[in-house]
Structure 1
């Protein structure tokens, strides 16, 4: 049996095919129209947040640079302060040394200074980089202020080596050309300087100084100056 299609059925199918997409399109358009104000507001907020983020990042970079500059400035200030403290300490030492020298000169040449003949005022020994010892002997005399004291100086170092008392005489301490002694010539005082080498395992304890002068021989014994040179 053949049943012919009715025109109304065809219209209904076409209405469904066209109406469904059209209704979706109209729904989308309605929703977009309703959401448009909120979307514009969100876009404005997003743009404002981006600007705020950029400003915050720039401010953060500026603060980081300022902090780095402050740290460098603080380091420079600390270094300058340390250097200043060291310089002041050095100047204090120089002033103390100059005051001691002035007092020494006043006692030596002043009218009220004690009169003494040729003598060893001080003996200092300081360790050098190569292992040798730098000595400084200060000789003085103010008994005869018009006279010149001349002669030769020698010294021996007494100490302990291998558990036994040992004396190192002058020729064993200095080069051969200085074996006769170190010359001195002065009116009030003179500092004699030079270097000696002590053998390994030798512990110095005393220094015996001999001054050969036209008027006789002067001998003096001084302890090894530990504060200035220490022991080897």
Structure 2
């Protein structure tokens, strides 16, 4: 074979063709790299855990502690719910007891007034006789400004006869800075006239409901009772407005 002048000649060598060997070398290289990565990961985890790798027993212990902590949290939540409910029940019970006490006091006061009233009927004093006005009852109900009332007109005598007459009731107060007098029939739908008819032998209750006008400040109730007949009488009495607004 002729050679070209000026060109360096290389010797040629024939080697067998083995493609599987290259694949084996590549696999070994990847295996070495993978082992190096895994070793670096576990080494870093070992350092982060203080040189102690968690064991299977440690995992069980941590799982048990987690379950116990969750159970304790549920228990505390239930205790808080129970305490909250107990507080609400105690408050409701306290309100009920308070309402019962107020109601019992009102009943006692009403009974004492009735006892005094019947004593006056059965055993009148020497200086008292004829037509008389007893105590009144005025109690707030429902919405603000609405009241239940009861007036007692009685006959004080040792020998009771049927008494006829009438009763006038006026509410005295202030509205817009001026004194105002309002008859009962303008405040109550239970009566349609200023004169309330009376007819009784021992006593008569005059009762119903009234509603105060807006802006009206009540001060007193003035009652005037008159009996008819030959021995007619006129009795007047003023009562302070002591009713409280509903709570």
The question of 1:190 aligning with 2:204 is answered: yes
Cα distance change, pair 41–120 in 1 and its aligned pair in 2 (3 A): closer
SS in 1 for 2:224: strand
Question: Shift of the alpha carbon at 1:73?
Answer: 2.1
Cα distance change, pair 98–114 in 1 and its aligned pair in 2 (3 A): farther
Question: Shift of the alpha carbon at 1:148?
Answer: 2.3
Structure with a larger share of its residues in helix: 1
Cα distance change, pair 114–76 in 1 and its aligned pair in 2 (3 A): farther
- 1:84 aligned to 93, 97, 112, which one? 97
Question: Shift of the alpha carbon at 1:53?
Answer: 0.9
> Where does 1:1-232 land on structure 2 (aligned, <5 Å)?
41-110=54-123, 115-123=128-136, 135-144=149-158, 146-155=159-168, 157=170, 174-175=191-192, 181-187=196-202, 189-194=203-208, 207-228=222-243
Distance across 2 between alignment mates of 1:58 and 1:124 = 60
Distance across 2 between alignment mates of 1:2 and 1:40 = 60
Please say which of residues 155-164 and 115-124 is displaced more in the overlay: 155-164
Alignment TM-score, normalising by the size of structure 2: 0.59
Q: CA RMSD in A?
A: 5.0
Contact kept, 8 Å, 1:155 with 1:209, in 2: the verdict is yes
Question: Shift of the alpha carbon at 1:229?
Answer: 8.1
Question: Shift of the alpha carbon at 1:195?
Answer: 6.0
Please say which of residues 87-96 and 203-212 is displaced more in the overlay: 203-212
Alignment TM-score, normalising by the size of structure 1: 0.62
Distance across 1 between alignment mates of 2:144 and 2:68 = 64
SS in 1 for 2:153: strand
- Unaligned residue ranges in structure 2 (runs of 5+): 1-8, 14-24, 44-50
